[in-house]
Chain A
Amino acid sequence: MAQANTMKVKKPKENEVSAARKSKHGTALTVFFSVLSFVWILPILIVILNSFKRKAYIFKNPFGISNVSLSQGAERWRAGIHKTFVGLTNYATAIEKTDFFRCFGYSVFITVVSVALIVLLCSMTAWYIIRVKNAATKTVYLLCMFSMIVPFQMVMFTLSKFANILHLSNPVGICVVYLGFGAGLAIFMFTGFVKQIPIELEEAAMIDGATPVQCYFQVILPVMKPTLITVAILDAMWIWNDYLLPSLVLNVNKYKTIQIAVQYLKQSHGQVDWGAMMAVLVLAIIPIVIFYMAVQKYIIEGVVAGAVKG
């Protein structure tokens, strides 16, 4: 955290010096990176382009806009464009086949509730195990450390079966599973932060007659805000994009997240409808891009803070 703050202070100074000195060099770099970052997002742009095409033309002519080359005359070329594109047909098929908005709803619900649970409950636990030091809290801490190095494959079979037995195979139950499986990393990051909070802060609140619960919500929680955001961002990225855990834990006949819906569209009966596939990929990317644009600053800071700690 402290590191992240000093970074921000230094940035403009360094930029000024280098920019002044290397403006000629800088222009070449700008051109180079303009091309490179265009190429970088080109795959996404191609998917967007192809999502409007008739499915037969997606593989015949993936990168062009007309199935007739311009050398055969402008008239025929233009006719080719008309033939290639089908407007929003693919989107209609995709939304219908995957029941997209329902899946979107489940994805949003699971991500929001799981992240809220992890952030709130794990920060409470972290505060407790730092302030109350005994054998039990030490064990809890060590178990959390340990869980961070266990790959999901190790528990996937047993976890999904137990979730089934305990009736957690639904969008509410899976949030409990995420809380349990995500607790390790979250508690690790929160304890790292709580250690730096001066205890006088809490003692002052207690002298004023606050109960531990009031003290937590009115004093500790506000102080922890940066770490809360970091953990929330990292876990939101993980849960939203997670495929394997929900596909095993959820009753997929009834509940599909976006990732599961995309996978089922691919593996469902016979020929893959690549038109619908392109459309559903675009639909799946749109909310991510909007979210990214809205909270880009926090995502970048979260990634950096997470890496420094992890």
Chain B
Amino acid sequence: MSKPLKKYWPLFVLPTMAAFVIGFIVPFVYGVFLSFCKFTTVTDWKLVGIRNYTRIFFVNGKLDTTFIHSLWYTCLFTVVTVLIINVVAFFIALALTKGIKGTNIFRTSFFLPNLIGGIILSYIWLMIFNAILAKYSKTIVSTQWTAFWGLVVVVCWQQIGYMMIIYVAGLQNISADLLEAAKIDGANNWQLMKGVIIPMLRPTIATCTFLTLTNGFKLFDQNFALTGGNPGKMSQLLALNIYDTMYGTTGWQGVGQAKAVIFFILVAIIALIQNKLTTRKEVEA
């Protein structure tokens, strides 16, 4: 196969690679380069060394905590959503694999929010939150914590259905004979869960945890539409903070690009940890 196929690369590889170079390679390499430059567009760059990186943390010799704030705000947000989404999705999945009446309808409605884009579902919730909070003369962006929990609700509402589907698949994959055998041996529900279901489900749990982890860490649309980073810049997650630095103030594009490089490194570290952990788990199983 490989010999006659080999000379067909202009058809099989070239179109994809041309787009890949335009859509990824060049923007990525140039993006790294520009993080060391002062620029307003891609053609007027001037090398400035690591000044963009220091300007993330220090402005005119004074400490600027905006980025650090959005970093820990993002971490907290990610931890909270990972926990809630996975725990709730797991228990819903557990109940919906027991063969109760209406299972299909329930699954359909839990999954539905996931298909609606981040912008649209944020405005659905913005209306509902503000309608409720108006009774207490508040809005969703009254404090960074109303904004925080607002974002948590929207993201959980969106992702629980998605993770539920994956958990359902994982649960259905556990052999019924194994469960039956454990029951005959007299295992109660708790022992069944701890001794059979959770261990068998470990790869699924790992998958869902990392999916929700990266989703939380990279969240943009919901943050942009629901809170816009308000009040002040207090509810900016990292992605929105980068966007705001880049497009919000002229002369800060370089700093925005430098933040993006740091953001990329953080996301890459998460991905590498995931890779390490999941490969090891698979070997164990």
The smallest C-beta distance from B107 to any residue of chain A, in angstroms, reads: 8
Answer whether residue B232 sits at the interface, using C-beta atoms and an 8 A cutoff: no
The yes or no answer to A202 lying at the interface (CB within 8 A) is: yes
CB distance from A216 to the nearest CB of B (A): 8
- CB pair B111–A300 under 8 Å, yes or no, is yes
Query: Interface readout for A268-298 with B: 1 if CB under 8 Å, 0 if not?
Result: 0000001001100100110011011000100
Minimal Cβ-Cβ distance residue in A for B180: A17
Q: Does A26 contact B (CB under 8 A)?
A: yes
Given contacts A153-B263, A158-B26, are A307 and B211 in contact (CB under 8 A)? yes
Residues of B within 8 A of A165 (CB): 42
B119 in contact with A263 (CB, 8 Å) = yes
CB pair B23–A177 under 8 Å, yes or no, is yes
Contact between A153 and B117 (Cβ–Cβ < 8 Å)?
no
Contact B131 A63 (CB under 8 A): yes
Q: Is the interface of B mostly helix, strand, loop or mixed?
A: helix
Please, what's the 1-or-0 string for B95-128, where 1 marks a CB less than 8 Å from any CB in chain A? 1111111100111111111011111100111011
**Residues A179 and B221 in contact, CB atoms below 8 Å apart:** no
Would you give the 0/1 interface string for A141-179, flagging 1 where the beta carbon is closer than 8 Å to chain B? 001100111111111111101110110100000001111
Chain B residue at minimal CB-CB distance from A122: B16
Stretch at the interface among B71-79, B143-151, B170-178: B170-178
**Are A211 and B100 closer than 8 Å at their CB atoms?**
no
B207 at the interface (CB under 8 A from A): yes
User: Are A37 and B105 touching (Cβ within 8 A)?
Assistant: yes
Q: Is the beta-carbon distance between B22 and A58 smaller than 8 angstroms?
A: no
- Distance to closest chain A CB from B103 (angstroms): 8
Please tell me which one of the listed residues A26, A62, A242 contacts residue B99 in the complex, with CB atoms under 8 A apart.
Answer: A26
Using an 8 Å CB-CB cutoff, how does the interface string of A30-46 with B read, 1 for contact, 0 for none?
10011011101101101
Bound complex: CA A128 to CA B8 (Å): 9
Q: Tell me, yes or no, whether B140 is within 8 Å of chain A by CB.
A: no
Interface residues on B, range: 35 or more
* Chain B residues near A63 (CB-CB < 8 A): 131
A36, A129, A150: which contacts B24 (Cβ < 8 A)? A150
Task: Give chain B residues whose Cβ lies under 8 Å from the Cβ of A213.
Answer: 8, 11
A140 lies within 8 A of B169 (CB): no
**Shortest Cβ distance from A219 into chain B, in angstroms?**
11
B31 CB contact (under 8 Å) in A14, A58, A155: A155
Instruction: Name which of B53-61, B62-70, B192-200, B253-261 contacts chain A.
Output: B253-261
Name 8 extra pairs, CB < 8 A, besides A18-B99, A22-B98, A296-B108.
A16-B99, A27-B101, A154-B261, A183-B24, A203-B1, A241-B118, A242-B117, A303-B166
Taking Cβ atoms with an 8 Å cutoff, the residues of A that contact B are 3-4, 6-7, 10-11, 13-19, 22, 25-27, 29-30, 33-34, 36-38, 40-41, 43-44, 46-47, 50, 58-59, 62-63, 117, 121-122, 124-125, 127-129, 131-133, 137, 140, 143-144, 147-159, 161-163, 165-166, 168, 176-181, 183-184, 187, 199, 202-203, 206, 211-213, 215-216, 237, 240-244, 259, 262-263, 266, 274, 277-278, 281, 284-285, 288-289, 291-292, 296, 299-300, 303-304, 307-308, 310
